[in-house]
Structure 1
Amino acid sequence: MRRVVKRLKRWLYLGHRWLGIATCLLFVIWFVSGVVMMYVGFPALTEAERRAALPGLAWDRVTLSPEAALSAAGQTRFPRELRLAMLDREPVYRIVAWDGGQHTVSAADGRSVTNIEAEVALAVARHDPRAVRPQLLGAVDRDQWSVTARYNALRPFHLVALGDPHGTRLYVSARTGQIALDTSGQERFWNWLGAIPHWIYVTPLRAQAELWRDVVLWVSGVAIVGAITGLWVGLLRVRVRRRYASGLISPYRGWAVWHHLGGLVGGLTLVTFIVSGWLSMNPNRWFGPRAPTQAMLERYAGVVEPRFNLDLDRVRTAACRALAEVRFGWQTGQARAVLTCREDPPVVCCSPVSGAVDGESVRIAEAARRLLPEASITETVLLTEEDAYWYSHHQQRRLPVLRVKFDDPDATWFHIDPVTGEILGRADRSSRVYRWLFNAPHSFDFLFLLSRRPAWDAVVWLLSAAGLVISVSGVVIGWRRLR
């Protein structure tokens, strides 16, 4: 048995040595890029940026009804989204079907808009308040910043530089004319040190979503084994009472002692970071979806036919200042229009939703029963402050928000805007577990830290520094071993 244990230890040491050589440089990259990502996220068009670039809605040119627009687009069901906005100087209906297809129909004459010329894209970009000297840079189908599948229905793009001090570039869809993405010079620079190496966002690989997911899972999985074996070896080699001849608790010297002692101090943190990062890829699809299904949303709407019987004249009378967009939809069988304004809060028109939060919460909660008709509502809470499951970190959360809990087998929660009635999110038991297995240990999304920045920054910097001591020393030791 003693010989067996000795041989197993030998394989443990050898396994950690070569797994460490294979992954130590990755750990350095992950820790450095993770610190960068604390402050610079991957480029995306925020709702505030999108809204600010919308021209004022020209009501006098709108002659087509929403129902006629759905007919012109060939819709057989009421779509996921139906919006009225401007395409430069022309009002258009933007339709997002349930299959992800995008359709644009002129609200002036009912024609389908399918091809946006470069000059029109340039005119669209001029409405952005950041525009100084807009300039066309050419056509883009897929590049480093527009690589994900979420943009597939909008490709290709006209790339427009705004000529502002921040080096902002807009991606204007050549299919629909809407702005899909913006990037700044700072984002483009820092993401090469942040999200791109951290997520292995190599464009040819990321373009194949499932292959990219498998690569990240396997690479991080191998790194997990290397980290766990290292922590194990470090504990086996430490002597606290009967120290080594040098007087240290470690038998090593030079970079090796930094690696050993750093691993004892920060090894658990390193394992936590890499395991939670691996879980972020949802291995084996353990964690459920966080968006409501089509069936849920259609039950909540109460209408599936491609019709809309709301008179546009009634919507016009409710228009707010600097009206930029109107979203049409149904809620429990009643037509409604949400008017988006650049300067004022959204206005809900022509439905029982009045905008009084307290009074409407009960009615919306009753309507929410349609989301899961086979289950009962166990609790309805109006949140006016952030909590552990609804908080702003790298994304802005709306408040107040109505949380409706169900007693279905998945213990599902829905978050609903109490003014507009929009479903903002869905969280079942698995997604709440995911919040504690990924967000909490990987990003340290604890409210007592997030609400006391820079305390959160200091903690993450300190833990990242401990991880860097382990990984940098591992790179040096590995390089010397290879030599």
Structure 2
Amino acid sequence: MPFLLSRLACVAVQSTARLTSVFDAVSGRAIGKTARRWLYLVHRWVGIASCLFFAMWFLSGLVMLYVPYPSLSSAEKLTGSEAIDWAAVDVPPPLEGGYLPQELMLEMRDGTPVWRVAQWDGSHVTVAAHRGAVLPLVDALYAARVAGRFAHATVERVDHLARDQWTVAGGFDRHRPVWKVALADASGTEAYVSSSTGAVVQVTTRRERFWNWLGSVPHWLYPTVLRQDQSAWRQVVLWVSGPCIAAAVAGMWIGILRTRIGARRFRGGRMTPYNCWMLWHHIAGMVGGVFLIAWIFSGWLSVDPGHLFGGTKPVKAAMRGYQASDQMPVVSLDRLRAVGSGAVIAQLIDNAGTPLVLLAYRDGRRSAVDAVMLTPSRPTTHALMTGVRRLAGSTRLIAIDRLTTPDAYWYAVATLPQLPVLRLRFADPPQTWFYIDPATGEILKTVDKRQRAYRWAFDLLHKWDLGVLTMYRPARDMLIWLFSIAGGVTSISGIWLGWKRLRR
């Protein structure tokens, strides 16, 4: 009897094991079938909407390749500025107990020399550099004079506004409201004059405005009504591009599943079962799918979800120690008149304990002179290293390099960045690198390990700004056009297939 019971128990266990294995196999197939069905559903229905965005992003991205979003460059600002009237400059630089503020420069404001002061608390003031001068209010007549002089054109119209499509970014907040001045020139120029500084802060042309409505505005989801609310705009970008990533990944997965390369091909030896529009969608998706996913994923990263790539900056106290560690010596305005003849900006700096006056001219030339002797001068390498050590604290300096060619983090597209520069690498926890202008001691850029990761995750995948490509613009353009065409075919065929599906 015990033997019989043990045999029955053994048979029961074996039967249960067989049933369990069968159940697991059936369940696995069922789960796989369900997962595959959801894969197709996500790609089909989310893909209908995402293909509209993909088509818009690819086409607008090609426009942006040649017409970027309008911005007033440093060169344009210099070209449109008045030469300093040195004969009228008789007010010494406004210092804080003998120390420099965060920024101090001399320039013209509607025919009057002024000191532009940026305080360490973030405030900005403008002080007349001529005794007894009264700075006029920024009204319509003022804006018309300044904009007309800046662009060398007559004025057609002046409007007062808080923001529009070309001044919607947060960088213009301290200039609001602005005066928009339409000029009667062949380019259809519109200049924007700050109500706080009285300076031109933005310039657009008819060509830039037209093409940006087809380029940057749709590409960045940038209409004024949305972009004026930074947090709302950021959430829209995240929640629009997120599902698009899912649709693209699902499509790539389906494309791989429906491709047969080996001996077990579809009827007629074909690698794909599709015809007509589905065939185009499949082939273009397989050719450009990886790049489409890279572009949309990096676009999602453009607003830094979760603030994963927010870098660490030197604290303001440390920056103050680098830029204004000692009292600024008295600058002789009488002697500076002769040295700075023709300059449009004269900026006082004291980087790394080296007091200088930087002079900038309309043609883009810049020169640095000693603040006391007013002869050409520059910080010594020792002074720069000592100054930067104040920023990095007691952290060990790993290396100092003099760059005469761009590196992976100091570069420009289709041109050369400012060179030479000094690159200082420190062994602090964020692994900070400083890029410094050896002629002035200005800290041009700081990058830590998070920002260097972001450079590869976003800039490379979205802008294709690999060094070898940035210096050979035609090659970069050809690659972007090639994969944009593949992405465009994928998107447009997906839109057509989705439209046919919805009509059923």
Whether TM exceeds 0.5 here: the answer is yes
1:91 matched to 2:118? The reply is no
- Secondary structure at the counterpart of residue 380 of structure 1: strand
Report the equivalent of 2:454: 434
Paired position in structure 1 for 2:14: none
Number of the residue aligned with 2:194: 173
Distance 1:8 1:321 in 2: 75
Q: Residue 370 of structure 1 aligns to a residue in which SS?
A: helix
Q: Partners in 1 of 2:56 and 2:403 — Cα distance?
A: 39
Specify whether residues 113 and 320 from structure 1 end up closer, same or farther in structure 2 by C-alpha distance, changes over 3 A only: closer
Distance 1:3 1:426, change over 3 A: same
Partner-residue secondary structure (3-state), 1:86: strand
User: In structure 1, what is the Cα distance between the partners aligned to 2:137 and 2:314?
Assistant: 32
- Alignment of 1:340 with 2:367, yes or no, is no
Contact 1:113 1:176 in 2 (8 A): no
Of 382, 386, 390 in structure 1, the residue corresponding to residue 410 of structure 2 is 390
Q: Deviations over 1:132-159 (max 9, x none)?
A: 3233332121000000110111111221
Alignment counterpart, residue 490 of structure 2, candidates 467, 470, 477:
470
Q: 1:25 aligns with which of 42, 52, 58?
A: 52
What is the deviation of 1:291?
6.0
Deviation at 1:63, TM superposition (A): 2.3
Matched with 2:289 is 267
1:459 counterpart = 2:489 = no
CA gap of 1:84–1:110, structure 2 versus 1, over 3 A, is farther
**Equivalent residues in 2 for 1:84-483 (5 A)?**
84-109=106-131, 113=135, 115-128=137-150, 130-241=151-262, 242-289=264-311, 292-303=314-325, 308-313=328-333, 316=336, 319-343=339-363, 344-350=365-371, 360-393=380-413, 397-483=417-503
Q: Describe the shift of the 1:401–1:290 C-alpha distance in structure 2 as closer, same or farther (beyond 3 A).
A: farther
**3-state SS of 1:4 partner:** helix
Describe the shift of the 1:80–1:117 C-alpha distance in structure 2 as closer, same or farther (beyond 3 A). Answer: same
Check 1:20–1:315 CA distance in 2 against 1; reply closer, same or farther (3 A cut).
Answer: farther
* Distance across 2 between alignment mates of 1:211 and 1:257: 39
Given the superposition, is the C-alpha separation of residues 212 and 90 from structure 1 closer, same or farther in structure 2, using an over 3 Å criterion?
Answer: same
For the 8 Å contact 1:262–1:469, the answer to whether it is kept is yes
The answer as to whether partners of 1:320 and 1:341 remain within 8 angstroms in 2 is no
* Aligned-pair CA distance for 1:79: 3.4
Cα separation, partners in 2 of 1:394 and 1:139, compared to 1, 3 Å: farther
307-316 or 95-104: bigger deviation = 307-316
Question: Whose Rg is larger?
Answer: 2
Change (3 A) 1:334 1:310: farther
Q: CA RMSD in A?
A: 2.5
1:321 Cα deviation after fit: 4.2
TM-score, with structure 1 as normaliser: 0.91
Structure 2 CA distance for aligned equivalents of residues 55 and 356 of structure 1: 26
Deviations 1:415-464 (A, max 9, x none): 11111111111111111111111111211111212222211111110011
Q: From the superposition, tell whether residues 148 and 360 of structure 1 become closer, same or farther in structure 2 (CA, over 3 Å).
A: same
TM-aligned CA deviation for residue 175 of structure 1 = 1.9
* Partner Cα distance (1:65, 1:455) in 2: 53
Q: Is the 1:320–1:339 Cα contact (8 Å) retained in structure 2?
A: yes
How big is each residue's C-alpha offset from its partner over 1:178-214, in whole Å with a ceiling of 9 and x where there is no partner? 1111111111010011110000001121111111111
Distance 1:471 1:114, change over 3 A: farther
Deviation of 1:278 (Å): 1.1
Distance, in Å, in 1 between the alignment partners of 2:426 and 2:341 is: 39
For the 8 Å contact 1:323–1:340, the answer to whether it is kept is yes
| TM-score, normalised by the number of residues in structure 2 | 0.88
SS in 2 for 1:25: helix
Please state whether the residue corresponding to 1:346 is helix, strand or coil.
Answer: strand
Aligned residues: 474
Query: Is residue 134–residue 163 contact of structure 1 (8 Å, CA) maintained in 2?
Result: yes
1:301/1:330 contact within 8 Å kept: yes
Name whichever of 384-393 and 150-159 sits farther off.
384-393
Call closer, same or farther: CA 1:263–1:411 in 2, change over 3 Å.
same
After TM superposition, give the deviation of residue 366 of structure 1 in Å.
Answer: 2.7
Secondary structure of 1:66's counterpart equals coil
- The letter of the residue matching 1:21 is I
Deviation of the 1:176 alpha carbon: 1.4
Contact 2:313-2:446 within 8 A present in 1 as well: yes
- Conserved in 2, the CA contact under 8 Å of 1:320 and 1:347? no
Q: Which has the higher helix share?
A: 2
Report the equivalent of 1:5: 32
Post-superposition offset of 1:235: 0.8
- Residues 106-129 of structure 1: per-residue CA shift (max 9 Å, x gap): 11137785831222222222332x
**AA aligned opposite 1:266:** G
- Per-residue CA shift, 1:199-233, capped at 9, x if unaligned? 00011211111111111011111111111111111
Distance 1:455 1:219, change over 3 A: same
Moved more, 137-146 or 373-382: 373-382
Unmatched segments (≥5 aa) in structure 1: none
Change over 3 Å in CA distance of 1:317–1:114 after alignment to 2:
closer
Change (3 A) 1:286 1:42: same
Change (3 A) 1:403 1:356: farther
**Of 54, 59, 65, which residue of structure 2 is paired with 1:38?**
65
- 1:55: which partner in 2? 82
In 2, the alpha carbon distance for the partners of 1:112 and 1:281 equals 44
Change (3 A) 1:58 1:111: closer
> C-alpha distance in 2, partners of 1:438/1:395?
20
Whether the aligned pair in 2 keeps the contact of 1:439 and 1:445 (CA below 8 Å) is yes
Aligned-pair CA distance for 1:396: 6.7
Q: Which residue of 2 aligns with 1:64?
A: 91
Q: 2: distance between equivalents of 1:216 and 1:46?
A: 27
Q: How many percent identity over aligned positions?
A: 40
- Name stretches of at least 5 consecutive residues in structure 2 with no aligned partner: 1-27
CA–CA distance in 2 between the matches of 1:274 and 1:295?
39
Where 1:468 maps in the other structure, the secondary structure is: helix
Aligned amino acid, residue 67 of structure 2: V
